[in-house]
Structure 1
Amino acid sequence: NMDRALALMDSLRRRGFLFALDDFGTGLSSFAYLKKLPVDYLKIDGEFVRDILHDPVDKAMVDTIRRIGGVLGMTTIAEAIEDADTCALLTAMGIDYGQGYHLAKPAPGEFAPVISNVVALPARK
């Protein structure tokens, strides 16, 4: 129920919570949610990031998602950054944050805050 979800998110936002739309571009994360849900972070699914250096369609998808996120005032996070070249390209494209083995290894949940492995890309620092 979208109305209940919006009411809950509004209540939590007033308490200082921020929201991320995870795995954007795949599964249940759709453009309809972008219009309706008050999200702060847009996490670009690793499916589009893994082959971005060699696939112009993936590069176009990431750039389009970044631009839409910017228009909506959302901060972008790219998942699955596995090497320096991918990180450099995403930085040049204007992606705000990155997540993946190149930036930080996953930490056990009991020892780390929820987004401790999300790293600001050089253009953001």
Structure 2
Amino acid sequence: MNNLSGTTIGDSEFLQFVREQQLVFGIDRHTICFEITETAAIANLAKAKTFIQELKGCGYRFALDDFGAGMSSFSYLKHLPVDFIKIDGSFVSDMLNSPTDHAMVEAINKIGHLMGKKTIAEFAANEQIIARLAEMGVDFAQGYGIGKPQPFIPWIDAERPLATCARILHA
């Protein structure tokens, strides 16, 4: 996934840049998923929605990062045509000890699925959290329990395996 800033979302020239890079490098658009934080998306909801729709129309996918951290998350979610919801790690990290955090993760996952979106749990730090996320039906997990972040530089060393950033939790 590639993170985009709030400034990028509002930059109409960036859309043309993405199109040009796709043509120059022959990028398979279906392999690219842009990530936008909830905060950046809601800062200008109309621009974010247009931006996402424009690139989704070209075949790119989108994830809404840090979902649940904002004050009105669910109302904004209805208006953003993203493919994935990344459940904020602040809920995931303590969900085994906090009934409230557990309920938040469960609610975000259920509503995301109801809306036809895949869910990704951030901060999946250990096998116990990963197992509980799988029981809940969360689609993917991301965190140190999966693997530590590593640079993505396949053009330098094509033989070196890349770190797994997310693991499918159920079939």
TM-score, shorter chain, exceeding 0.5: yes
User: Could you tell me which residue of structure 2 aligns to residue 9 of structure 1?
Assistant: 52
User: Could you tell me which residue of structure 2 aligns to residue 93 of structure 1?
Assistant: 136
Distance in 2, matches of 1:108 and 1:61, equals: 31
From the CA coordinates, give the structure whose radius of gyration is larger: 2
Q: 1:32 to 1:118 in 2, by over 3 A?
A: same
Cα displacement (A) at 1:104: 1.5
> Percentage identity across aligned positions?
45
Distance in 2, matches of 1:107 and 1:57, equals: 32
Q: 1:82 to 1:29 in 2, by over 3 A?
A: farther
Match of 2:165 among 113, 117, 121: 117
Ranked by relative contact order (alpha carbons within 8 Å, sequence separation 6 or more), the top structure is 1
Distance in 1, matches of 2:165 and 2:72, equals: 21
User: Could you tell me which residue of structure 2 aligns to residue 30 of structure 1?
Assistant: 73
Large movers: runs of 4+ above 6 Å: none
Distance in 2, matches of 1:52 and 1:22, equals: 18
User: Could you tell me which residue of structure 2 aligns to residue 41 of structure 1?
Assistant: 84
Distance in 1, matches of 2:69 and 2:51, equals: 24
Cα displacement (A) at 1:111: 4.7
Contact 2:142–2:167 (8 Å) recurs in 1 = yes
Cα displacement (A) at 1:54: 1.1
Q: Does 1:58 find its partner at 2:88?
A: no
Structure 2 residue matching 1:36: 3-state secondary structure: coil
Contact 1:21–1:29 (8 Å) recurs in 2 = no
Contact 1:23–1:29 (8 Å) recurs in 2 = no
Contact 2:146–2:164 (8 Å) recurs in 1 = no
What is the total number of aligned residue pairs between the two structures?
A: 121
Structure 2 residue matching 1:32: 3-state secondary structure: helix
RMSD: 2.1
| Structure 1 residues without counterparts, runs of 5 or longer | none
Give TM-score scaled by structure 1 length.
0.87
User: Could you tell me which residue of structure 2 aligns to residue 80 of structure 1?
Assistant: 123
Distance in 2, matches of 1:79 and 1:89, equals: 13
| Structure 2 residues without counterparts, runs of 5 or longer | 1-43, 156-162
Contact 1:80–1:99 (8 Å) recurs in 2 = yes
Q: Does 1:70 find its partner at 2:113?
A: yes
Measured against aligned partners, the alpha-carbon deviations of 1:14-34 in whole angstroms (never above 9, x if no partner) come to 111111110001147722221
Structure 1 residue matching 2:66: 3-state secondary structure: strand
Cα displacement (A) at 1:118: 1.5
